[in-house]
Amino acid sequence: MQQATEALNHPYFGVFVLLVFTFWVFNLTLRIQRFLSRKMAQKKGEKLKLAPYECGPVALKQPNRVSHHFYIMAMLFILFDVEIVFMFPWAIGFKQLGLFGLIEMLGFVFFLTIGFIYALKRNALSWQKLEVK
């Protein structure tokens, strides 16, 4: 009984309750939206409405698909872009964070290095050798 009272008095208990409540409301909103869209949607299945709309000159040949190489490079760019977003504030407050901040950032860089090595082993940075296994 005393542990339950201590849990309720924890300084982050309110944040946890707010997080759970927000998740619950978000989930409920999505379910209501999905239900209403299915009930209110028109069920006409005309082929012309389902066809993609294209304007401009008539295409002379079939359009090429975008290579998956671009998507993999974009994901790697986002990964290392997010790294900079986290490292910049750390560099600003390095002296105030002390040893704890250094250890946290070393752990962060360690996990990013593991991801980078994984990408290298999978040939994600080699444009010609890329194979999905």
DSSP letter string over 73-90?
HHHHHHHHHHHHHHHHHH
**Most distant CA pair in the chain, distance:** 76
Question: 50-74, pLDDT tens digit by residue?
Answer: 677 777 777 777 777 777 778 888 8
Residue 1: its pLDDT value, please?
64
Per-residue pLDDT band at 123 (split at 50, 70, 90):
confident
pLDDT over 80 at 18, yes or no: yes
* pLDDT score recorded for residue 53: 72
Helix orientation angle between 68-92 and 94-121, rounded to the nearest 10 degrees = 160
Between 122 and 2, whose confidence is greater? 122
* Cα 77 from Cα 83, distance rounded (Å): 10
> CA-based Rg of the chain, rounded to a whole angstrom?
25
Helices (H), 41-67: 47-50
pLDDT at residue 132 in the model: 57
Taking the model in full, what pTM does it have? Answer: 0.46
Tell which wins on pLDDT, 10 or 24.
Answer: 24
